[in-house]
Amino acid sequence: MRATILLTLSLLAMGSIGCLDEPSGLTQSQVDSVLDVQASVVDERQTLLRQTDDLNARRDELEADRRRWDERERSDPIIAQAIGGSVALLACCLPLILIGLLLWPKPGEPAEGAICDALIDDLSQDSPQLLVDPKRTRRLE
């Protein structure tokens, strides 16, 4: 109860003090200039808020762009590693393929074996027909 009385008295004292109309000592031109300054401050504050909103929008765009680049940087190394691994595998297998091609047995030509057989048969006979007899040939002088 006592607190309520004190609160009521303090509210009445503040209300009566604030209601006094004392002259401020400013002329009408000074009051007008103060009001003009306040209006320009309000205008500048609104301009600053618009610029802040614009900067915030640009910051959000930059953040979205950074996220896209970050996502791209995460996926690009996977592709690059796959390509690098494929090239390394090809580089390692290329010498093995080359050695395999060089060591692979090549089938001999069929005419080669027949010629060898014919020469052996002719040389094993008493009178070879394929060899040239030096007595029968003339020398070119």
CA distance to 45, 56, 57, 99, 128, per residue, from 51 (Å) = 10, 8, 10, 71, 112
**How does pLDDT run across 41-52, given as a tens digit for each residue?**
999 999 999 999
**How does pLDDT run across 70-100, given as a tens digit for each residue?**
888 777 777 888 888 999 999 999 999 999 9
Q: Look up the pTM and report it.
A: 0.35
Place of tokens 């009521």: 8
Tell me if 130 sits within 8 A of 118, measured CB to CB. yes
**How does pLDDT run across 101-116, given as a tens digit for each residue?**
888 887 766 677 778 8
Rounded distance between C-alpha atoms, residue 56 and residue 23, angstroms: 45
